[in-house]
Chain A
Amino acid sequence: GPKVLQIPSHQIIDMGQMVTLNCDPVSNHLYFYWYKQILGQQMEFLVNFYNGKVMEKSKLFKDQFSVERPDGSYFTLKIQPTALEDSAVYFCASSLNSWDKEVFFGKGTRLTVV
């Protein structure tokens, strides 16, 4: 199926530093998402992005989190500053439009905050 690419696959970072996770969504998709999965736990929705704006965010999307997609470039999740509890696998996803809602996921970026 359609591929969502995530870079890097694994990132280790010191607590308090900034990290940017990169995602290359499916090329013609309009809706972009970030999800968080702590090891052994449930996949949880963070944020939904469309037309250059955050459409919806969950309570997990803390003030330290931000998302953007500058023209034609990666869809990014930035965490500044990072905290130990931010350690998780972050999955990027995309879907085509508001009536074809099938969601496709990337392989995830494993973030370890030390």
Chain B
Amino acid sequence: EAGVTQFPSHSVIEKGQTVTLRCDPISGHDNLYWYRRVMGKEIKFLLHFVKESKQDESGMPNNRFLAERTGGTYSTLKVQPAELEDSGVYFCASSQTSPERPQYFGPGTRLLVL
């Protein structure tokens, strides 16, 4: 069974540019999550999809971040315009329906904003 995949693996952009990250969850997982880890700090929640609906987006830092999951399959996270503090590793995870099911993480996208 294929795991969670993310694209790109790395992205280096300049402040003010736009970047779009993609996540493909494990097939059949209705729950999809985005997280961010800034160097040396803990993993922070950004948002949670159930199928195509945003269940919880309380962790989204501001309106420069836009997440979509059209069709309830893959998801994209767009940052526009990017700022220096957006640098970090963005992880996507997916899980089956139930809070007591582990989330399986993708390899992450390492974003560097210069």
A binds B: no
